[in-house]
Amino acid sequence: MLLIEGTGTSCSLPGTVDLSGSRIRRVIDRAITYAVAGVLLLLVLLLSPLILLGLLWTNLQDRRVAEAFRRSWPDRQGLLIYSSSPHWQTFVETRWLPLLANRSVVLNWSERATWSVRYPLEHRVFQRFAGSREFNRIAIVLTPGGMPTPGPDPVDAAGRIMRWAGQRFCFRAREVRVVRFWRAFRDYKHGRPGQLRSAEAELFRAFGVAPPEPLPEAGLPSSRAGT
């Protein structure tokens, strides 16, 4: 960089390198980005065997629990869990149980303290597949050979590949369907029946039965997730 006296201006001579502060910062930022990307890629490569083993172990445990349930209940397809809450009990017992009682093992959430003693296998199924959210009023359906994944097909190639891989190689994605109802009942209580209609349609489709009469428009009384 050459400073021209008396003008306050500068110019770059041919063959020189601009070592201004902004250019140096850009070079340093780019180098840091490449270094971080390289470290992350190296970590993924180093940890990939452990990640794969973890996925295989999870897949094996899922299969073992599901097959134990099928051996114990050859005429049942899964669990149906609801509570003794007066806000929801009548709805479930008059609308769902006449169609699903002979296809599912029904557990009462209000008696969950006794599950590990009275229903140890069913308790294992619940713990394995219910997760940690919205687990009161839930159905866990175990279908040998799998079932169609609900929802529209992904429009992007990556989404289609992920769905294909999950349905082929992941036991839980292929043969376990979990239908949650807490949010659906909450919306229905406030006069929005759309989500409950969709969840009910998925529930009866998973168990392979025709749905009951159309859902009433009126909302249900107020309730809490844990009642």
pLDDT of residue 195: 93
Q: Domain limits at 161?
A: 57-207
pLDDT in tens, 65-79: 999 999 999 999 999
pLDDT of residue 159: 55
Task: Enumerate the H helices of 73-181 as residue ranges.
Answer: 89-95, 97-100, 115-118, 120-129, 157-169, 171-175
The stretch 178-185 carries a mean pLDDT of 93
pLDDT of residue 206: 93
pLDDT in tens, 3-43: 444 555 545 555 555 556 678 888 888 888 888 888 888 88
* More confident of the two residues 91 and 153: 91
pLDDT of residue 207: 94
* More confident of the two residues 106 and 16: 106
| Closest C-alpha to 211, from 200, 221, 219, 220 | 200
Q: What is the mean pLDDT of the chain?
A: 81
Q: How confident is the model at residue 2 (pLDDT cuts 50, 70, 90)?
A: very low
Q: Would you say residue 226 lies in a domain? A: no
Asked if residues 139 and 203 have their Cβ atoms less than 8 Å apart, the reply is yes
Q: Would you say residue 66 lies in a domain? A: yes
Model confidence at 225: pLDDT above 50: no
Q: Compute the distance between CA of residue 224 and CA of residue 85 in angstroms, rounded to an integer.
A: 9
Q: Would you say residue 109 lies in a domain? A: yes
pLDDT of residue 226: 42
pLDDT in tens, 111-154: 999 999 999 999 999 999 998 888 888 999 998 765 545 555 55
Q: Would you say residue 220 lies in a domain? A: no
Q: Would you say residue 10 lies in a domain? A: no
Q: Would you say residue 94 lies in a domain? A: yes
Tokens of 19: 């070592």
Half-sphere exposure of 137 (CA within 13 A, CB side): 24
Q: How many other CB atoms sit within 10 Å of the CB of residue 51?
A: 10
What's the whole-model pTM score? 0.70
Q: How many domains does the chain have?
A: 1
Q: Would you say residue 17 lies in a domain? A: no
Model confidence at 221: pLDDT above 90: no
Q: Compute the distance between CA of residue 180 and CA of residue 127 in angstroms, rounded to an integer.
A: 15
